[in-house]
Amino acid sequence: MNLTQLFNRRVMLGAILIAGLLLLITIISIGFTSPLQPSDVGFAPANLTVIAAPTVTSNAPPTPTIDPFAPTPVPTGIAIGNYVQITGTDGEGLRIRSEAGLNSESAFLGFDSEVFLVQDGPVVLDGYVWWFLVAPYDETRNGWAAADFLSYIPSP
């Protein structure tokens, strides 16, 4: 069979006509379809969780440290030459007095966690045990304080 007999003018014209018809149907169907509606989601950031890589943990025992701003009271007695801090005033402070006793004049107000060096005492008066305290950073800041509001701390 000869190729020119198979692809004659009529077959070629029919193929072009069918291709054009299919193209026309495709164009019409695209024109009648509604465009895609944009989603209302907007910008949605991704949540990112960073997980640290495992590290080697030391077997060495922890080194004890003393926080100078909030020393931990040690359950030992108050004595001359030791350091104490003011505790238990509920933020109201402790009146440090010029003499031992409730009737003596208040020299200044000491605040919770403030640290003092014990230089004299004890004196028992008015139902309290009194200790003479001196601030290690200012020797003019000194006076007598009731032991009920003092806690022993290790030397800073």
CATH of the domain at 121: 2.30.30.40
77, part of any domain: no
115, part of any domain: yes
> For the chain, how many structural domains are there in total?
1
| Exposure string over 4-34, b if 16+ CB within 10 A, otherwise e | eeeeeeeeeeeeeeeeeeeeeeeeeeeeeee
127, part of any domain: yes
For residue 106, give its domain range.
83-153
97, part of any domain: yes
DSSP-H helix ranges across the chain:
3-6, 9-32
Q: What is the chain's pLDDT, residue by residue, as a tens digit (156 residues)?
A: 677 777 788 888 999 999 999 999 988 888 777 666 666 666 667 777 777 777 766 666 666 666 565 544 444 579 999 999 999 998 899 999 999 999 999 999 999 999 999 999 999 999 999 999 999 989 999 999 999 999 999 876
